[in-house]
Amino acid sequence: MKKHGILNSDISAILSKLGHTDQIAIADCGLPIPDHVPKIDLALKLGQPSFVDVLHEVLEDMEVEKMIWAEEIKGKNTKLHNQMENKHQQIPFDYVSHEELKEACKNVKAVIRTGECTPYANAILQSGVIF
């Protein structure tokens, strides 16, 4: 049995296959996920697991060179936005419109769906390198 890191076998497999600049998304329970993109569904009920909890665990196990957020989070979910900016200052943030973020999700390696039910709680993580 695995001793450290993410225990979810689907997430662990996706992370181990990522190369430099590959992307995954972590999404709230309402983000539309294209049919051809693998969905790792962690949602149990509204709010669980939270976006923050899932993001934290993924960031512990993944080298991320930047995060891409919907511009709308700044005005529509300031609590989450401020929390993310304060906690993850070492990772650059890029912003696109929510429509552009949804379009970009067509090209990610996987979407991890959480139970989060606050607006614009979605981020695309771009893989960095560890050397």
pLDDT at 4: 83
Catalytic residue among 20, 56, 81, 88: 20
pLDDT per residue as tens digits for the range 58-100: 999 999 999 999 999 999 999 999 999 998 889 999 999 999 9
Asked, for residue 35, whether it belongs to a domain, the answer is yes
Number of domains in the chain: 1
What predicted TM-score, i.e. pTM, was given to this entire model? 0.96
Asked, for residue 74, whether it belongs to a domain, the answer is yes
Whether residue 120 is annotated as binding a ligand: the answer is: yes
Instruction: Find, among 120, 97, 96, the residue nearest to 31 by Cα.
Output: 120
Asked, for residue 9, whether it belongs to a domain, the answer is no
Asked, for residue 113, whether it belongs to a domain, the answer is yes
Asked, for residue 6, whether it belongs to a domain, the answer is no
Q: What is the CATH number of the domain that holds 115?
A: 3.40.1650.10
pLDDT at 8: 96
Residue ranges making up the domain that contains 94: 20-127
Whether residue 122 is annotated as binding a ligand: the answer is: yes
Give yes or no: 36 in active site: no
